[in-house]
Structure 1
Amino acid sequence: MSQDIRELVSLSSRILADDGQGDFIWGHSSARDPEGRGIWIKPSGLGLEEITPETVQLVGHDGTLLEGSGAVQFEYPIHTEIMAARPEVGGVVHTHAPNAVALAAAGVDLLPVSHAANYFVPPQVPRYTDTADLIMTQELGIDVAKCLDSAQALFLVNHGIVTVGPDLQTATMAALLLEQAAAQQLRTLSFGGTPSYSDEAESLSKRDHIYNEIALAKAWDYLVRKVTTR
């Protein structure tokens, strides 16, 4: 079982890197430990593209390294506190996705100008603005979890993004879709004019048609093939 989770965290990390969400050694994804011991997460000091199953750590709720080696992520409270607040969440992603960071810093709402944005909107993606510093304490992790509330994604303004899902596969897909949505919106607005976008009813319909559970699973399988068959 632990080997399967290590492989999942490794695949998530490599898929995020392949999408351009790597930031040197920063950014991380995690899966909830099925035995309730904490989270499986990449260690500090490695890039997303470097993560193999052997490098993945089991980290307790208080940041104690339970399995694996190396330094623990400073920002582990993002993951542990969200999972503590949201029992239904099985995976959490935090990256410094460049287009999503730019969109949030500009103070612009995410608009459903593309398929990808409909995964999130409506409602609007919440924005955490209490600090742009690292989320290194339990108190800050709790604040982030409160700001996320029941949403699937959160902008850490001037910092990065957080996405969640019932499993790490879904949380990873959400991170890719949020960055894709932000990139498409920036491209759309660069043309000027009067951008058009889906209304609430159409957005919800598109979300069900395009991003249902079966479709997301097939998209995940595609991404796995993409990073493992080169």
Structure 2
Amino acid sequence: MSSGRADVTSRPDLAELRETVAVACRVMAERGLVEHVLGHISARLSASELLVRCRGPEESGLAYTTAEDILPVSLDGGGDHGAWAAPNELPIHTELMRRRPAIGAVVHAHPPAVVALSLVGVPPQPIYGAYDIPGARLAADGIPTWDRSSLIRTPALAAEMADALGDRPVLILRGHGLVSVAEGPPRLAVARAVLQAVAVDTLARTTLTVLSSGGVPRPISDEDLAELPDLGSGFTVDTLWRHLCRRLTA
């Protein structure tokens, strides 16, 4: 376990993953999934350690995250990085990674549309199909909601949150935001977890548009849902992630 920032910089094995998490934070900001300085992403390093987006002495928000802000922390919350502090809601990450060893990344974001939809009390539904197949499938399989709006800064609250998530990939936090998790190798899991958050945000924004227009959001038919093809991760993850990363430099 690294115990200081000097130790981090001497670990070249972490460099690529630190940069991946930093880019993912900037993608979330560019997509409007986070505002200002709130939100964080983690990636698993081992059974006992993760990398997480921390706040530094010149904190400027997720849109300006660099690899320097991504630091290792143990699953028991330990790790001294001087002026850099782990997020208050670190228990979100540590509890989920402890419970589900296959998880490679955890995202916590505050998409305004997701917050608003959770307060309206309308559950996410697969109201469209081919427009966003991954999002439709997420909704069809069920996106649970945790009814508490607490800052998840204790193991007890994190345990409640994890119970609400169960084995699902995304959990909506009522009046707070969402948590998205993905399994697999950490770099790929980071992309998947962010893309799931993007899909839920798109679903929430579209649902709110329907509601504000006087419409009633209705799920598509089971027949249409069954016709949606699996486009493969090469398209739904690799290509889309490459696009979102390129937008950062456009």
Fold conserved between structures, TM > 0.5: yes
Matches within 5 A, 1:8-87: 8-33=20-45, 35-44=46-55, 45-65=59-79, 69-87=83-101
TM-score (norm 1): 0.90
Partner in structure 1 of residue 205 of structure 2: 183
- The answer to whether the aligner puts 1:168 opposite 2:216 as a matched pair is no
User: Within 5 Å, which residues of 2 pair with 1:173-212?
Assistant: 173-203=195-225, 205-206=227-228, 208-210=229-231, 212=232
CA distance in 2: counterparts of 1:85 and 1:148, whole angstroms: 11
SS at match of 2:142: coil
Quote the offset at 1:144 in angstroms: 1.1
Q: Please give the secondary structure, in 1, of the residue aligned with 2:35.
A: coil
Pick closer, same or farther for the CA change 1:169–1:76 going to 2, 3 Å: same
Q: CA contact under 8 A between 2:125 and 2:218: conserved in structure 1?
A: no
For the pair shown, which has the larger CA radius of gyration, 1 or 2? 2
Task: Please name the residue that 1:220 is paired with.
Answer: 241
Alignment pair present for 1:125 and 2:143: yes
- Hey, which bits of structure 1, 4+ residues long, moved more than 6 A? none
What is the letter of the counterpart of residue 81 of structure 1? Answer: E
Query: Matches of 2:102 and 2:221 in 1, distance apart?
Result: 29
Does the CA-based 8 Å contact 2:54-2:69 persist in structure 1? yes
Whether the 8 Å CA contact 2:210–2:216 is kept in 1: the answer is no
CA shift for structure 1 position 197: 3.4
Contact 2:143-2:171 within 8 A present in 1 as well:
yes
Offset of 1:201 from its aligned partner? 4.8
CA RMSD of aligned residues (A): 1.9
What fraction of aligned residue pairs are identical, expressed as a percent? 30
* CA distance in structure 2 between the aligned counterparts of 1:177 and 1:190, rounded to whole angstroms: 20
- Specify every segment of 5 or more residues in structure 2 that has no aligned partner in the other structure, as ranges: 1-12, 184-188
Q: CA deviation at 1:214?
A: 1.5
TM, length-normalised to structure 2: 0.83
Provide the secondary structure at the position in 2 that maps to 1:120: helix
Change (3 A) 1:9 1:204: farther
**Displacement of 1:77:** 0.7
My pick for the range that moved more, 56-65 or 36-45, is 36-45
Q: Which residue of 2 aligns with 1:150?
A: 167
How many angstroms does 1:9 deviate by? 0.6
Preserved CA contact (<8 Å) 1:94 1:160: yes
Q: Out of 14, 17, 25, which is 1:5 matched to?
A: 17
Runs (5+) with no aligned partner, structure 1: none
Shift of 1:46: 4.5
The aligned residue for residue 157 of structure 2 is 140
Counterpart Cα distance in 1 of 2:203 and 2:239: 20
- Aligned residues of 1:78 and 1:141 also touching (Cα < 8 A): yes
